[in-house]
Amino acid sequence: MKLFIVAISVICLISCAPKDEEAGTSSTTTERKTAFLELNLDAKILRFLESPNSTFAANIAAEMGQTGNRLWAPWLMDVLQLGFSSETILTSTRALQDITGIESSGNVADDAVLYGSWIRSEALEPRSDYKQWKLAFLGALDPSYPKYLQNINDLGVLAGIRWGGVRRGGIPELNYPEHVKAREAKFLTPDELVIGVIVNETPIAYPLRFINHHELVNDVVDDTPLTLGYCSLCRSGVVYLTELTEEILTFQTSGLLIDSNKIMVDNNTDSLWQHLRGESISGPMTGTKLDSLSSVSTTWSSWTRKHPDSLTIATPETTWFANQPERKPIAYDYTPNAAYKRYYAQKDLWFPTLTTPTTLLDLKEEVVGVSLPNSQLAIPINKLDDLPIVEHFGAHTLLVVPSQGGARVYKADRTRPLDQIAVEQTQEKWNEASVSIALRNTSGQKITFKRLNTRQMFWFAWYALHPETVIWDPTPESN
C-alpha cells in the first residue's frame, strides 16, 4: 500500500457534488459562495457534506484551525489525506500546525504521519457528528466503506482508521494455493525467509517472496481451514484458524489501516478485522476473536532441516480479476526481498501510529513480542545470536531459541536458578511444541519448557498494541 494524498483521490467525491447546471451563471455560484461564508462552522460542515468541493473544504479547515480546539484535529486529518487541492492541503496543514503546536515538515506524506500519530497518541475523542463526516470521506474512496464502518461507535478508533491507497481486494489474496513438498520446491533458496507453522501434524512454510505481495492466504492444511494474514507495513504474519461454529471465514484486504496495521474484511459477513489482534472491530462479527497457531519467521534451509517433509506453496500464477474485466492482470516479481524494498530501506513510516519511543529501538527494528498475564516483552531480533538463551522475566523463566530470522520462545513449568539449567542441550532437544532440559547438579531432574504463541513484527507495531511493554535486554546471568 502507498499513501495517496492527491486531488485525484477525491474525484468521485467532487464529481458527485451537485452542479449549478440549471443556473449556468457565475453570479449564482458567487451567491452560493457568499451564502456559505455567512454560515457558522457546523452549518458549513453540513453544506460541505451535501456539496463537497475544494473551496468549502479549505474554508472549513481554516476556521477549524482558528478555533484552536484540538478536537478538530481528526477532521483536519481527513481533509489532509484526501487532498482536494493544493489550497486545501496547505490550509489543513496550517490548521493542524496551529492546533498541535507541531511544525509542518514541508512534505504532505510526512505531515500525514506526523499529525496522524499525534492524534492517535493524544487519544482524542471527536464530537459525535464526526462519524457522518468520516463515513462520507471514506465513502468517496469506496462506496462500501460506510456500510463496513457504520457500527463502530468508538470515535477514537474511527478517527484512527486510515485509507491505505487501495480499495477492497486491491491487494489480491491467494486462495487455496497449490501445495508442493519441500524436495520439489527447487525454486526456493536456502537463505530466503519463510513463515513456518505446524497444522495438526503437518508442517508447512509460506515463503515471504509470495506473501509480501499478496498479504493474505486463505488455505486448508491437513483438513484445517486457516488464513495467513500478513501486514507488509508491520512485517508480521499471523496464522488464524478460520472455522467457526457455523461457517468457514475467508478474507480479503479491506484497503483500510489502523496504526499502520492491515485491516482485513471477511467475505462471509463483510466484518472488519484488525490483523494483529485477530479481532473483529465492526460488522456482524464485532468482538469475535480468532484463534491462532504458533508460527516462526526463519530461513527455508533452517525450516527444512527440522522439517524435511514440510509442505510449501507453488509459485502463484498471474493474478486475473474475473469480476473486474477492466482491471489489468498482475504478474508480480517474486524475487526474494523484491516487495516493499523502498519502504524497508527507509527509517520512516508511510502511515500514522502511536508515537513510538525510539531511544532504544528504531521504528522498524524487528522484535518478537511475548504476551504473558499482565506483562509483555519485546525481544529485539538483532540482540540474538545463534545460541539459545534462558532468562527470568518477572515470575517466569523463558527460553529463547533463535531461528535465523526470528525466534521461538518457550516458558518453563517452574522456576529454577538460571545456572542450574543446562541450556546448551537445547540445540538438540527442542521441537515446535516443547523442550525438556536437564538440571545441573541434580539426579536426572529436568525442566520442561512449552512453546508460547508469540508475534514477530516491527517495534512500532508491537508498541501500538502494548505501550506498557518491557524491552528485553540480555543480562550478565543469561546463559
Grid cell locating 340: 516493499
How are beta strands 292-293 and 236-241 bridged, if at all? antiparallel
**Strand order across the beta sheet in which 261-266 lies:** 161-163, 251-258, 261-266, 272-274, 279-282
| pLDDT for residue 418 | 78
Distance CA 445, CA 65 (A): 69
| pLDDT for residue 382 | 93
Distance CA 62, CA 466 (A): 36
Torsion from C-alpha of 37, 40, 46, 49, nearest 10 degrees: 40
- The answer to whether residues 278 and 171 touch, using CB atoms and an 8 Å cutoff, is no
- The answer to whether residues 115 and 96 touch, using CB atoms and an 8 Å cutoff, is yes
| pLDDT for residue 23 | 40
Q: Is the pTM of this model over 0.85?
A: yes
Distances from the Cα of 418 to the Cα of 34, 124, 386, angstroms: 77, 45, 19
- The answer to whether residues 203 and 296 touch, using CB atoms and an 8 Å cutoff, is no
Bridge partner list, 218: 175, 227
Supply the DSSP symbol for 477: T
- The answer to whether residues 6 and 83 touch, using CB atoms and an 8 Å cutoff, is yes
**Strand order across the beta sheet in which 179-181 lies:** 179-181, 311-313, 202-207, 193-199, 295-299
Distances from the Cα of 37 to the Cα of 14, 30, 54, 57, angstroms: 19, 11, 14, 12
Distance CA 437, CA 388 (A): 12
Query: φ, ψ for residue 299 (rounded to 5)?
Result: -85, 155
| pLDDT for residue 473 | 82
CB atoms inside a 10 Å sphere around CB 333? 9
Range list of H helices, 19-105: 26-37, 41-50, 54-67, 73-82, 86-100
Distance CA 468, CA 462 (A): 10
Q: What is the pLDDT along the chain (479 residues), one digit of tens a residue?
A: 444 333 334 433 443 344 444 444 555 556 566 688 899 999 999 999 988 888 999 999 999 999 999 999 999 999 998 877 899 999 999 999 999 999 999 999 999 999 999 999 998 889 999 999 999 999 988 899 999 999 998 999 999 999 999 999 989 999 999 999 999 999 999 999 999 999 999 999 999 999 999 999 999 999 999 999 999 999 999 999 999 988 999 999 999 999 999 999 999 999 999 999 999 999 999 999 999 999 999 999 999 999 999 999 999 987 777 676 677 778 889 999 999 999 999 999 999 999 999 888 999 999 999 999 889 999 999 999 888 888 888 889 999 999 999 999 999 988 877 777 777 766 667 889 998 888 887 777 888 899 999 999 999 999 999 999 999 986 544 44
| pLDDT for residue 306 | 94
Query: φ, ψ for residue 300 (rounded to 5)?
Result: -60, -40
Supply the DSSP symbol for 360: S
Grid cell locating 268: 462471509
The domains of the chain are located at: 7-163, 174-313, 366-471
* Interhelix angle 54-67/26-37, nearest 10 degrees: 20
Distance CA 299, CA 277 (A): 25
- The answer to whether residues 109 and 348 touch, using CB atoms and an 8 Å cutoff, is no
- The answer to whether residues 300 and 194 touch, using CB atoms and an 8 Å cutoff, is yes
Distance CA 288, CA 474 (A): 37
- The answer to whether residues 431 and 448 touch, using CB atoms and an 8 Å cutoff, is no
Grid cell locating 214: 499478496
| pLDDT for residue 4 | 39
Does the CA dihedral 254-255-259-260 come out positive or negative? Answer: positive
Grid cell locating 140: 468517496
